[in-house]
Amino acid sequence: MAQEDVFKKLVAHCKEYGYVFPSSEIYDGLSAVYDYGQYGVELKNNIKKYWWDSMVLMNENIVGLDSAIFMHPTIWKASGHVDAFNDPLIDNKDSKKRYRADVLIEEHLAKFEEKISKEIGKARERFGEAFDENKFRETNPRVLATQQKIDELNERFNRAMNASDLAELKQIIIDNEIVCPVSGTRNWTDVRQFNLMFATEIGSASDGAGKVYLRPETAQGIFVNFLNVQKTGRMKLPFGIAQIGKAFRNEIVARQFIFRMREFEQMEMQFFVQPGTELEWFRHWKEIRMKWHQSLGFGEENYRFHDHVKLAHYANAATDIEFRFPFGFKEVEGIHSRTDYDLKQHQEYSGKKMQYFDPEKGVSYVPYVIETSIGVDRMFLQIISAAYTEEELKKDDGSSDTRVLMRLPSVLAPVKLAVMPLVKKDGLPEIAEKIVKDLRFLFNCQYDDKDSIGRRYRRQDAIGTPYCITIDHQTIEDNTVTIRYRDSMEQERVEISRLTDIISEKVSISSLLKKL
């Protein structure tokens, strides 16, 4: 099945099984805004807990913060967001559709990449085992010609973006004959900058209403509280401040489900270090964060770093952790060495010192910062797109059936176990209810006695419940139940008294944290 179709099915599955709903659906929805349903919110909370524990619980020198969404408007002037947090947008005069000029060019580049992938795929089929991809890339004339086009376009594009040269961005679109995906025409307006921050007003007009912004990142709340936390927590460098919270961006191109939203959540950690040690810490956090992603078991080959060659003016190193989504490798997390830029800007704009007194050196200085920044929703999408599986099952009569399941890591699964009496009589429901009553203090459990046992298993597979406990007539005789494993569908007979230990071991966050 084409990856595009798999993705459409995943989106439909999320809605059907209470993971993600379009926002305001009864009013026809609100573009790029989503609500998390009964299972979605549990998965999201588990992701957040895993991130939080890996930062705050596992590191003595990292503490948490929960700063407000509204902040003094000068913060966004100091951070550069008022002047420079822009996307270049362009309209097609025929379709009246609005696009991000950089995204149109990136998509054009992706088509060239796709062309190369197809050539490689065909050659691999032709040469089989003996195929050497690197050699093929270096020698095949068609691949070389396409690669040259990519390199030339990339260079021109990067130059235009770095110089914020809007006329050149339009010229690139025209020279490359990029058409509007809706009208198919090249009737473009000029490119202009569009600020991504949402603004509103605080207080009533008579109070002297002031313009405030909905924060576009949580990081600035950490920077402006740097000294509050350092002093009250008696923190010594190096130390970190972690925060999880909502962020808002008026994205022009909001597509691919929850990948790019207008209201989303971030998990950010700013790690304050001595100037001169920042690149060492940057490498450290790169490694730690990659391990965190890979600990979930979705395959190392599905992750890669994308080191930034062109750096923002405030950074001296930056990388993205990318995951192979159904629509290609895309950024999930950014790790940035932000120098002392943010603290210095706040020092200048607020007139307050943002310095750390180093007791060992006997001097004060503005620390450097390594930032790790990951979107909760994008992480959620990473997990569900890796977990969504359609499995062909052969039946005894030779026909086949499709089983849809979410292979979620047990630690993150919204429901850990479902408890099911085989039949609704003979005292079996009472035993099942007692098991749920005892285990619900420890795990998110469901009691389910509707429909055949096969249908109940399928329902739990679709939710991603890793363990189903079935109570049958043998349970009455020997206090044993069957535990059925979602991924293998294997069943094992165990004593009721062992359930807590068996399941605790598999679903505790500490088992993941120990891998880090």
Query: Which residue has the closest beta carbon to ligand GAP?
Result: 375
Q: Which is nearer to ligand GAP, 157 or 223 (CB)?
A: 223
CB 436 within 8 A of CB 387: no
Q: Which is nearer to ligand GAP, 269 or 483 (CB)?
A: 269
Nearest to 218 by CA among 347, 64, 366: 64
Nearest to 186 by CA among 176, 177, 197, 199: 177
Nearest to 317 by CA among 325, 308, 328, 326: 308
375 sits near ligand GAP (criterion: CB under 6 A): yes
CB of 385 to ligand GAP, least distance (A): 14
Q: Kindly write out the interface string for residues 195-224 of this chain, putting x where it contacts ligand GAP by CB under 6 A and - elsewhere.
A: ----------------------x-x-----
- Taken as a whole, the chain contains a residue count of 516
CB of 267 to ligand GAP, least distance (A): 9
Chosen residue from 42, 102, 333, 448 binding ligand GAP by CB under 6 A:
333
CB of 76 to ligand GAP, least distance (A): 13
322 sits near ligand GAP (criterion: CB under 6 A): no
DSSP state of 70: B
Q: In which residue are the tokens 């993150």 written? A: 412
Q: In which residue are the tokens 């007003």 written? A: 201
268 sits near ligand GAP (criterion: CB under 6 A): yes
460 sits near ligand GAP (criterion: CB under 6 A): no
Q: Could you give the angle at the alpha carbon of 98 between the alpha carbons of 96 and 101, nearest 5°?
A: 135
Q: Which is nearer to ligand GAP, 315 or 442 (CB)?
A: 315
Q: Which is nearer to ligand GAP, 24 or 189 (CB)?
A: 24
338 sits near ligand GAP (criterion: CB under 6 A): no
CB of 442 to ligand GAP, least distance (A): 32
Q: Quick one: which segment of 63-71, 105-113, 256-264, 305-313 binds ligand GAP (CB under 6 A)?
A: 256-264
Q: Which is nearer to ligand GAP, 251 or 449 (CB)?
A: 251
334 sits near ligand GAP (criterion: CB under 6 A): yes
249 sits near ligand GAP (criterion: CB under 6 A): yes
Q: In which residue are the tokens 């895309």 written? A: 330
CB of 281 to ligand GAP, least distance (A): 17
Which helix (H) or strand (E) segment holds residue 374: the answer is strand 368-375
Q: Quick one: which segment of 163-171, 178-186, 366-374, 438-446 binds ligand GAP (CB under 6 A)?
A: 366-374
Chosen residue from 91, 107, 251, 358 binding ligand GAP by CB under 6 A:
251
Helices (H), 392-491: 428-439, 453-463, 473-478
CB 320 within 8 A of CB 379: no
CB of 264 to ligand GAP, least distance (A): 4
Residues 320 and 467: their CA atoms lie apart, in Å, by: 35
- Using N-to-C axis directions, what is the helix angle for 141-162 and 101-127, rounded to 10°? 160
Q: What are phi and psi of 166, to 5 degrees?
A: -70, -35
Residues 132 and 7: their CA atoms lie apart, in Å, by: 31
Q: Residue type at 317?
A: A
CB of 254 to ligand GAP, least distance (A): 7
Question: CA torsion 435→437→441→444, rounded to 10°?
Answer: 70
Number of residues that bind ligand GAP (CB under 6 A): 19
Buried/exposed code over 426-456 (b: 16+ C-beta within 10 A; e: otherwise): eebbebbeebbeebeeebbbbebbeeebeeb
Which residues have C-beta within 8 Å of that of residue 363, sequence separation ≥ 6? 357
Q: Which is nearer to ligand GAP, 85 or 457 (CB)?
A: 85
378 sits near ligand GAP (criterion: CB under 6 A): yes
33 sits near ligand GAP (criterion: CB under 6 A): no
Residue 419: both structure tokens together? 């408890």
374 sits near ligand GAP (criterion: CB under 6 A): yes
CB 469 within 8 A of CB 419: yes
102 sits near ligand GAP (criterion: CB under 6 A): no
240 sits near ligand GAP (criterion: CB under 6 A): no
260 sits near ligand GAP (criterion: CB under 6 A): yes
Count of CB atoms within 10 A of residue 189's CB? 12
CB of 490 to ligand GAP, least distance (A): 36
Q: Which residues in this chain contact ligand GAP in the complex, by CB under 6 A?
A: 217, 219, 249, 251, 260-261, 264, 266, 268, 331-334, 371, 373-375, 377-378
